Amino acid sequence: MRHCLILLCTLLLAACGKTPLQEQQAYVFGTRVEVLVVSSEPEQGRQAIAAVLREFDRLHRTYHAWQPSELSDLNLAIFSGRPQQVSPELAAFAREAQQLSRQGGHLFDPGIGQLIQLWGFQADEFKAELPADSDIKAWRASQPSIADLTISDNTISSRNRKVALDFGGYLKGVALDRAAAILRSQGINNALINIGGNVMALGSKEGRKWKIGIQHPRQPGPLATVELADGEAIGTSGDYQRFFEVDGKRYPHLLDPRTGYPANHTQAVTVLIPAGPKAGTLSDASSKPIFIAGPEAWREMAEKMGIGLVLRVDRDNRIFVTEALRRRLTFIGQAPEMTVVP
């Protein structure tokens, strides 16, 4: 499985830089994560990275959608029709996810866990097996959404028992923001965090901006590179990350709640989020509704969410990019044919 974004020049920077570069990788949130820290004190860097990875592991275990966790306990309570007392953190996540879902017209909806399960994506390995059309129809008839939740202080209830929360399209972004806060609290001001292609930059590498590549959805190597300023985050939703094939047709994990089926009109959407307290969260949550919105509505959806730097590759390999992001892209060799939109 390729990552939607790849880090460039890491080895070169590590070999040639004067300041030590600490790097550690792990497997969390169902994907590979990388934390790179620039610090003149190697022990400080190692301790900071360890603190970040501990937090990633805690978030992963606490909010796992299909293994025993606080989130799965909540889903069981919802299915049983009873309110559940949850931690202040989970209540805050549910409120924020509700707000983000509403902003994206509920095309990104963490309340569709049962649909994700029907498609077999609540698993580490996917089976090339389609759900029954009748099961999809029954799910659509119940219309579950995170909007069905009522959150009162730290108690969550639902008017729809078919709601099942899955934070898979949200938690990686939250983790980026947490990682940035942890690193800065430990005196680390220059770092790069990559969670399966959602990337946040802190500071720089000896005065040079961090440079990353935007993965081409159908070819090896990057489509383009982009430099990230301090605090910026970038994220990609792609149909090549989590998918299976049946009879030569690709079925990605990016499900359209309106139809109950995977969106098949888009290969990848990349968003670049300016520095801010929620840049990481937005890099994860905002790419999904833009991806699912489709060829006629993606730009309007981006504007609705206040996302100005967007790149979209449609199913026919056509590239669309906003003018604001086009100005920041660097292409290796001749630039591909693309449509630039305001």
pLDDT (tens digit per residue) in 222-280: 999 999 999 999 999 999 989 999 999 999 999 999 999 999 999 999 999 999 999 99
Q: What pairs with residue 246 in β-bridges?
A: 249
Q: Read off the pLDDT of residues 81-91 as tens digits, 9 standing for 90 and up.
A: 999 999 999 99
| Lookup: tokens for 201 | 């930059």
Q: Read off the pLDDT of residues 180-205 as tens digits, 9 standing for 90 and up.
A: 999 999 999 999 999 998 999 999 99
**Residue type at 73?**
D
The CATH code of the domain at 5-60+172-333 is: 3.10.520.10
Q: Are 54 and 27 in contact (CB under 8 A)?
A: no
Q: Are 261 and 223 in contact (CB under 8 A)?
A: no
Q: Read off the pLDDT of residues 18-52 as tens digits, 9 standing for 90 and up.
A: 668 999 999 999 999 999 999 999 999 999 999 99
Sketch the domain layout of the chain as residue ranges: 5-60+172-333, 70-158
Neighbour order of strands in the sheet with 210-215: 5-7, 210-215, 222-228
Gap between the Cα atoms of 62 and 29, Å rounded: 11
User: Percentage of residues in the chain with pLDDT exceeding 90?
Assistant: 90
CB atoms within 10 A of CB 6: 18
What is the DSSP secondary-structure string of 107-139? SS-TTBHHHHHHTT-SSSS--S-PPPHHHHHHH
Q: Taking the model in full, what pTM does it have?
A: 0.93
Mean pLDDT of all residues belonging to the chain: 94
Q: Read off the pLDDT of residues 155-181 as tens digits, 9 standing for 90 and up.
A: 999 999 999 999 999 999 999 999 999
Gap between the Cα atoms of 206 and 204, Å rounded: 6
Q: Are 43 and 235 in contact (CB under 8 A)?
A: no
| Lookup: tokens for 125 | 């390995």
| Lookup: tokens for 244 | 């299976």
| Lookup: tokens for 11 | 């080895």
Gap between the Cα atoms of 200 and 279, Å rounded: 8
CA angle 97, 201, 301 (to 5 degrees): 40
Gap between the Cα atoms of 152 and 175, Å rounded: 25
**CATH code 3.30.230.10 for 70-158:** no
The long-range contacts involving 55-58, CB below 8 angstroms and separated by at least 24 positions, are: 55/175, 55/178, 55/179, 55/182, 56/26, 56/28, 56/29, 56/175, 56/179, 56/195, 57/26, 57/28
